[in-house]
Structure 1
Amino acid sequence: MAVESVPPWDPPTAHRGGRSRLPLLPRLSCSVLLFGFVLLCAVGIASSLIWGDGTPGDLRIDRNEAVGTWRDGDGGSLTLNMDGTFQASALCGHYRGASSTEVFDLTPRTGSGTWTFHAPETGSTEVRLTFAQVRDLTSFTSGGTHAKPVLWQWLGDPDEGRLCKLHRAP
């Protein structure tokens, strides 16, 4: 009587009759895991295409669109007035002193001062703030959409991924 043997290098599915020797549950588990992996990769790729590095993206706004009140997620606010003045209350931000040799500070600011508007030919608009009392400087870049504009800036090292985002108050 001859015994048929399957060489050890043959996969378990290489069986006469074309049927797998693996039970149904492990085959389904492998299929579910593979599907989950492919789905996770697709979501990761799509999110990186949509949100990129986490910034709100470029948005070009005009000076009139910048005027008004903006709020951060921690209760801070910034009101930009048409006459080029502003008022800030507990405003998040990355500040530096008037001297370029002064270190950067991430402490929220309250105060008033003047703001300027910089709109390059391409890319985002920039709003620059100068606090009158302490001569601290900071700037915000416009982003988001015209329906939901955002003024934003990095907090500290951009590699850390922390943002200060200001949303237009209703």
Structure 2
Amino acid sequence: MRNILPFRARGKTLPDFETLVRPHLDHLYRLAYRFCGQRQDAEDLVQDLLVKLYPRHAEIARVEKLRPWLVTTLYRMFIDGTRRKARSRLELIDDETSFYDGVANNDDRPEQSLAREQRIEQIQRAFERLSDDHRTLLTLHDIEGYRLVELEGMLDIPLGTLKSRIHRARARMRQLLDDAADA
């Protein structure tokens, strides 16, 4: 991930662009990975974003809330890409702020560890079976912690619609987990 910004353009001033974007790269990469499901695709998506934005770095410097703006742009690029190719399998990555932190605990007993791992696998399988829209909403709101007002601006979806879609996404996730528990 560290070498995602090593390109240099002749005669251009990269430090301004790099200074603006570098603090957000890890966050953008994690989101891209959650959207794409594969490291290479996530790196490509972030790199495509940077290449697209580099010529506009003077405009980017004037953006008031850069992180949500970058996330919106990344999301729209992802959606454009998925419209062009088949849906890919999503695998969540483990990082310091992982979705699974709430599931994990420090029990040393093998049976509890096994049960915890099985539950994590159930959650991941259920998450993968969600629609792209539901996965995106749960990722941005429940995992990444974006507020509804931020998502409203980022995704260009009215607040009421956003609330109902998140509710339906959570209900679908619960249904998938219940079905997995019954099986």
TM-score (norm 2): 0.23
Choose between structure 1 and 2: higher helix proportion.
Answer: 2
Who wins on radius of gyration, i.e. which is larger? 1
TM-score (norm 1): 0.24
Choose between structure 1 and 2: higher strand proportion.
Answer: 1
